[in-house]
Structure 1
Amino acid sequence: MKASCPCGAPGILIIETVHGLICANAGIDQSIVYGSDLFNTLPVDADKSARAILHKLINHTGVKIGVVISDTFNRPWREDLINVAIVG
Structure 2
Amino acid sequence: MPKLVDIVAVCFECNKKFARPQKLRIHLESQHFITIPERSRARRRNNDNFTYVKTSTMHASIEEQFGCPACFQHYEVIHELKNHYYVDH
User: TM-score by structure 1 length?
Assistant: 0.26
Structure having the higher Rg:
1
Report 1 or 2 for greater relative contact order, CA contacts < 8 Å, sequence distance ≥ 6: 2
Q: Which has the higher helix share?
A: 2
User: TM-score by structure 2 length?
Assistant: 0.26
